[in-house]
Structure 1
Amino acid sequence: MSSGKPDEPNQLPETSSTHPFLIYISEDEEQLGNDVMQSSKNEHQRQSLEIDIKALEIDIKEMMLKSRRPPFPPCIYRVSSVLRDVNRKAYTPRTVSIGPLHHNNKNLKGMQTVKFQYLEQFLKRATKTAMLNELPHWGDPMGFVTSLDTDLQIGKHFSCLERFLGLLKPTEGDIWNSYAEDDLNHITLEELLKIILVDSAFIIELFLGFHFKLSKLTPFEIASIRMDLLLIENQVPFFVQENLYKEAFGSYPNIYPTILELSCEFFEPYNDPKMQIQTMKHFTDLLRTCHLPITKDGEHDSNGGTPENDSKNREPDDSNEHLKSATQLYAAGVQFNVSSSKCAFDISFIEPKLEIPCLHIYDDTEVIFRNVMALEIYHYPNKTLICDYVLLMDYLINTSEDAELLVEKKIITSRLGSNQQVAFLFNRLGRNIV
């Protein structure tokens, strides 16, 4: 008799497996599966080992490159505390960082965006310059390559970025060795190349904008950047800018002056434009070269007395230890006359006349002297012409009366405000200088 409930389905017999069906795996098949899993595991370990070895290889190569003894001495230095503590501001950029030594300066981060904008301008200009041969009717080439506001095909100018990075890569060792030992321990080669490319492109675009009169910077901003570009710690090797510039614009000398000519033009306030500069290591070196004696053919003496070609065993000269001040010499009968020479080193004494070229002192004079003197101390230790000149002036000017005498004789013109400040300038410049 029916109970009124629907018939229950037949129940499957219970098993100890969670799978609804019984699966039989032979020992051979099980071993095969284990072998496959083990092989996959081994392959993964092998790939991981290859990655680790590759990373280790890169690290070791970088360490060897960093520790390699350079074939030439470095030319960019971080100033020691002995010099820096006299006037820290004289060696620290205030507007823009150039190179790796001040790259992480928080006060200069605002210029990083501007530098990347200038990098894009550089890439656009390089791309448009390369297109000149492809355009049969481009008309005025100058107008074409300087019209950077006219966009190229979106992103087309980025294609030459790889070309410029590839140009820097083979010289990474020379770039690294341009900086003094231990100054780059905080950075990798990859980071260094990125900094060098961005900063070099910024400088090139800055100079081209100044030359073509297209710069949107104010005269105050240009003057401030110009001063930062002269600091010894704020440099990139000049050969880097030269290589990038030649690659981008060297085929069109009728449009683009050389990067050396652009540099001399930008730093004209510190250089006689009639004089020919042949070479430089960086802009601090250019500044020093501008003050070197001039040869008969109108060129600056480029022989800066490098450590390789000068005696390294020269004994200190103490013969001027007791040199008298200007007022003391004047009281003893020495006549002070201003020389007509534009070279600061054309100092002559034919008894009783002491002739010294005129020195113009401005607000930035201390910064200029300090950075060139630091370069001489580190890189030209056997031909410290600027240091010797400053020490001579330090001997002559002890008091405001000494400064007043030289101002009266027109040997010094000053915008510092008082003769006391002139005396203080030279007394401080000569501190810790050997």
Structure 2
Amino acid sequence: MGSVEINPEEALQIEVGMSSAMITMLESVGLNLDEAWLVSLEQKLEETNWEPWRTDHASIFRVPHHIRDDDAKLYDPKVVSLGPYHRDVDRLLPMNRLKWHSLKKFLSRSTGYALVDYLRLIKVSERRARSAYADDLASIDSNDFVQMMLLDGCFVVETILLWKIGASGLEAVQNPIASSSWILPMVARDMLMLENQLPFFLLQHLFELTFPRHQLDYAKCAVEFFAACTEMDLELPSDGAVKGGFCHLLHLFHSCITPRKDAAEAKSRTKCFSRANKSQTTRVKSIPNATRLSEAGVKFQRKRTRNVLDITFHNGKMEIPQLAVNGHFNTLFRNLIAFEQGYKCASLHVITSYASLMDCIIDTPEDVTLLQKGDIIVSGLGDNQNVALLFNKLCSGVSIDDGDGDLASVFEEANRHYNRKWNQFLAILRRDYFGNPWAAIALMAAILLFVLTSTQTVFSVLAYVRPPGNQPN
């Protein structure tokens, strides 16, 4: 018998008919549903709506468990809580007293506004501030939320001003941030925690009311503060639209290290490389480590630039800006990566792509040593094994897409260079022969023996073809 073909429309009609028949059959056997249960489900559906007041993407959120569980301590503040997520942690409560001192000093700077004016300012912006947080903060009533924003915001502003202007009198003695050398870097570290952020617009408003004539620029002061505390060369974006669009301090920091120079050219090059390799692969996820690339003739050189992410590859040379790997590096980059993972508007996952590239390059302690010789990595962690492990875990639990990022061309060019047959042949020679002095000696002896044998063979053939007695006169 021949098979009967059924077109899609007929198949759909049959499926609908079968579903109707099934419902009719169930009703015929007397299967009744609990009316109260059915009403409760319908009511739940009726109440399920998106929150109409939240019209922008939340930019402050908890680090997802699949990222946090790898090393939770990298995402938890150590000294001070800012915002709602860690406000009740016992070990952070002692700093709350200092927040009141910061508020009092902040109010003393303002000649035209009193406490009530600042409370009203935050009250007016409360909905916008709440919408910056991904979590439902309904458990925090309006007055508590406004008080928290004012206390925490004044603490952040005053901490930066304390670093810039200094302290005097009793404050210089009793304020732990001013009197202890270790607390300020820890506070700066906590101020760059994703879960410890405050809406940037509130900080900006507080600062501008205190300095109405723009004697100081808050964003610029914050960048200088973090540059000093992290030992990184930061540059505030010059674009006014970007400058006014920071979500929080972590976003400001992210914007300062995101590549901006020649961005159009880099994007064009990336698209060109992607089109050229589209038939082979749409995503380049990996490249060999620094040792293997070096064996294939790649030269690693320090790039003189202020942008730590500005890595380039050209004519077999990979240029990488110098990176100081200290005690705060891991925490900072993990939080930047978590921010990129959760905030859709973060620019193209540039930190994640950078971490992915460095994870590929740095696989073993030998790779770290190679980059240290090139003055690319300056480590404060001691053992190179620890440095390699740090980079190997940067992207743990993270979604990575290197195909369209600013570093896509680096992945593609490095792989293209490594996969050339001549470069692979050089890599084999360096790894299997020239890496061991005895193997190198044996190889040279074999080459010499081959040359001598070949020479002897040539002379023997010549002697056979033209014997000595047949030489011309």
TM over 0.5: yes
Task: Determine if contact 1:95/1:224 at 8 Å carries over to the other structure.
Answer: yes
| Residue identity opposite 2:183 in structure 1 | E
Q: What are the equivalent positions in structure 2 for 1:7-46 lying under 5 Å apart?
A: none
Q: Which residue of 2 aligns with 1:313?
A: none
Match of 1:350 among 311, 314, 332: 314
**1:283 aligned residue:** 249
Aligned-pair CA distance for 1:275: 4.6
Letter in 2 for 1:360: A
Q: What is the total number of aligned residue pairs between the two structures?
A: 320
Contact 2:307 2:321 in 1 (8 A): yes
> 2:297 & 2:332 partners in 1: Cα distance?
33
Give 1:66 deviation, angstroms. 10
Which residue, out of 216, 233, 256, partners 1:257? 216
For 1:258 and 1:351, the matched residues in 2 are separated by 43
Partner of 2:108: 124
Q: In structure 2, what residue type is equivalent to 1:357?
A: P
Q: Matches of 2:201 and 2:57 in 1, distance apart?
A: 15
* Matched residue SS, 1:293: coil
Q: Name which of 165, 180, 199 aligns with 2:119.
A: 165
Letter matched to residue 204 of structure 1: V
> For 1:89, what is the secondary structure of its paired residue?
helix
* Code of the aligned partner of 1:201: C
Q: Which residue matches 2:328?
A: 364
Aligned partner letter, 1:263: A
Against the structure 1 CA distance between its residues 381 and 247, is the aligned structure 2 distance closer, same or farther, given a 3 Å change threshold?
closer
Which residue of 1 is the match for residue 456 of structure 2?
none
Superposed displacement of residue 342, structure 1: 2.6
Contact 2:234 2:257 in 1 (8 A): no
- Note the alpha carbon deviations across 1:82-110, whole angstroms, 9 max, x for none: 11111111111111111111111111110
2:100 maps to 1:100:
no
Q: 1:245 to 1:337 in 2, by over 3 A?
A: closer
Partner of 1:177 in structure 2?
131
CA contact (8 A) 2:190 2:196 kept: yes
Which of the residues 171, 178, 190 maps onto 2:143?
Answer: 190
Q: Which amino acid aligns with 1:292?
A: T
Q: Distance in 2 between matches of 1:222 and 1:196?
A: 21
Tell me what 1:323 maps to.
287
Whether contact under 8 Å (1:363, 1:415) holds in the other structure is: yes
Aligned counterparts, 1:390-405, within 5 A:
390-405=355-370
- Structure 1 position 111 matched with structure 2 position 91: no
Whether the 8 Å contact between 1:272 and 1:290 is mirrored in structure 2 is no
Q: What does the per-residue CA deviation read over 1:203-254, in whole Å, with 9 as the maximum and x for residues that have no partner?
A: 222222222222631332211111111111111101111112222331x44x
SS of structure 2 residue aligned to 1:267: helix
The answer to whether structure 1 residue 83 and structure 2 residue 67 are counterparts is yes
Letter of the aligned partner of 1:398 in structure 2? D
Deviates more, 1:186-195 or 1:98-107: 186-195
Indicate the residue corresponding to 1:209 in structure 2.
Answer: 162
CA distance in 1 between partners of 2:116 and 2:314 (Å): 62
SS across alignment from 1:336: strand
* CA distance 1:122–1:66, shift in 2 (3 Å): farther
- Secondary structure at the aligned position of 1:219 is classed as coil
> Cα–Cα, structure 1 residues 161 and 64, in superposed 2: closer, same or farther, change >3 Å?
farther
Contact 1:65 1:173 in 2 (8 A): no
Instruction: Look up the SS of the partner of 2:114 in the other structure.
Output: helix
Calculate the TM-score normalised by the size of structure 2. 0.63
Deviations, residues 34-62 of structure 1 (Å, cap 9, x unaligned) = xxxxxxxxxxxxxxxxxxxxxxxxxxxxx
Q: Is the 8 A contact 2:223 2:253 kept in 1?
A: no
CA distance, structure 2, for counterparts of residue 272 and residue 94 of structure 1 = 25
AA in 2 matched with 1:240: L
Note the aligned Cα RMSD (angstroms): 2.6
Give the letter for the 1:125 counterpart.
R
3-state SS of the aligned residue for 2:318?
strand
**Counterpart-to-counterpart distance in 2, 1:97 and 1:248:** 23
- Alignment partners' CA distance in 2, 1:224 and 1:65: 41
Structure-2 residue corresponding to 1:73: 57
- In the alignment, what sits opposite 2:226? 267
Secondary structure at 1:67 match in 2: coil
Among the aligned pairs, what percent are the same residue? 31
Structure number having the greater helix percentage: 2
What's the TM-score, normalizing by structure 1? 0.68
**1:393 Cα shift?**
0.6
Structure 1 Cα separation of the partners of residues 354 and 326 of structure 2: 17
Q: Given that residues 58 and 134 in structure 2 are in contact (C-alpha distance below 8 angstroms), is that contact kept between their aligned partners in structure 1?
A: yes
**Alignment partners' CA distance in 1, 2:224 and 2:310:** 25
Q: CA deviation at 1:72?
A: 1.5
Relative distance call for 1:342 and 1:178 in structure 2 (3 A) is same
| Residue 197 (structure 2) aligned to one of 207, 228, 235 | 235
1:265 deviates by: 2.7
**Runs (5+) with no aligned partner, structure 2:** 1-46, 173-177, 264-280, 400-473
Aligned to 1:354, the other structure's residue is in SS state: strand
Q: Is the 8 A contact 1:342 1:358 kept in 2?
A: no
Q: Tell whether 2:223 aligns with 1:223.
A: no
Q: Distance in 2 between matches of 1:352 and 1:209?
A: 48
Structure 1 residue 185: Cα displacement:
4.5
Q: What residue in structure 2 maps to residue 423 of structure 1? A: 388
Task: Pick one of 301, 313, 316 that aligns with 1:337.
Answer: 301
Residue 296 of structure 1: how far off its partner (Å): 7.0
